[in-house]
A = this chain, B = another copy of it.
Amino acid sequence: MPERGTKQVNQPALADFKVGVDNVIFSVDTQQNRVLVLLVMRQDEPFSAQWSLPGTLVRNGESLEDAAHRILAEKIRVNNLYLEQLYTFGGPGRDPRESPDSFGVRYLSVSYFALVRFEEAQLIAEGVSGIAWYPVTELPQLAFDHNQILEYGYRRLRNKLEYSPVAFDVLPELFTLGDLYQLYTTVLGENFSDYSNFRTRLLKLGFLADTGLKVSRGAGRPASLYRFDSEAFAPLKNKPLVFI
């Protein structure tokens, strides 16, 4: 990192930071076919009583990823979890707790991108239970620059869907090819691919295992339940893949 300014004298002072971690946690409701993001109601100033991304300030001895796991575990119980760093927002003035003259402590946010399974995820109700899944299409105004962070996270979701098997981190353990197709259509839009071609392509890749189980959902022929076979996927891990 940095030179310390031992030689130069009239150097501007270094900023002091508190570092926060904010999680953009996505899941998908396969029943209602909606992409959801987890929001919490703030209890404290600033932005008290406004929705925000679940976040926390980093503690002594704690890594960034530890902090991300900690805040996630405080809000939600999950079996499966996909987590990766998203982006770091650190401009001056992004937190009203910073003094207006730009001196004094600054607040930096390292955001994380997380995927969980809606059906398996249990929200942890705390007090008045200010925690909820929001459809990404109906977002409220969020605290801080969280709308921007969320937008950035949603873009990441759309991108990853195309070349990475993240779909299986938000779908239930067992899913039909219709579920999978629906997920892709709701996130990527109607015209990304024909259903039957999508089917053929995905099956040919060889990491979707047919469980033999069937589900019937109203009218129509019952669908096979598939499972993501991570062992069969392993050799494809670093190859450029096209899911769409």
A135 at the interface (CB under 8 A from B): no
- A-side interface mostly: loop
- Chain A: how many interface residues by the 8 Å CB criterion? 50
Instruction: Determine if B3 and A60 form an interchain contact, defined as CB atoms under 8 angstroms apart.
Output: no
Identical copies of this chain, number = 2
CB neighbours (8 Å) of A63 from chain B are 90-92
- Nearest residue (CB) in B for A1 is B20
- The answer to whether B92 and A61 have CB atoms under 8 Å apart is yes
Closest B-chain residue to A104, C-beta based? B60
Interface string of A105-146 (1 = CB under 8 A from B): 001111000000000000000000000000000000001100
A88 interface neighbour in B4, B42, B85, Cβ under 8 Å: B85
13 A–B pairs (Cβ distance < 8 Å), ordered by A: A1-B53, A1-B143, A4-B44, A4-B57, A12-B60, A12-B62, A13-B60, A15-B19, A15-B58, A15-B61, A17-B58, A63-B91, A85-B88
If A58-B90, A62-B92 are given as contacts, then 12 extra A-B residue pairs at C-beta distance below 8 Å, sorted by A number, are: A3-B44, A11-B59, A12-B61, A15-B18, A15-B58, A15-B60, A16-B16, A16-B17, A17-B19, A60-B103, A64-B90, A64-B91
The reply to whether A107 and B1 form a contact with Cβ atoms under 8 Å apart is yes
Given contacts A20-B1, A44-B6, A64-B91, contact A59 B108 (CB under 8 A): no
Of A55, A56, A57, A162, the most chain B CB neighbours within 10 A belong to A57
Knowing A64-B88, A87-B85, A88-B85, say if A3 contacts B58 (CB, 8 Å).
no
Asked if B1 and A22 sit within 8 Å, CB to CB, the answer is yes
Interface string of A32-60 (1 = CB under 8 A from B): 00000000001111000000110111111
Shortest beta-carbon distance from A120 to chain B in Å: 25
Interface residues of A (CB under 8 A from B): 1-4, 6-7, 11-20, 22, 42-45, 52-53, 55-64, 85, 87-88, 90-92, 95, 102-103, 107-110, 143-144, 162, 240
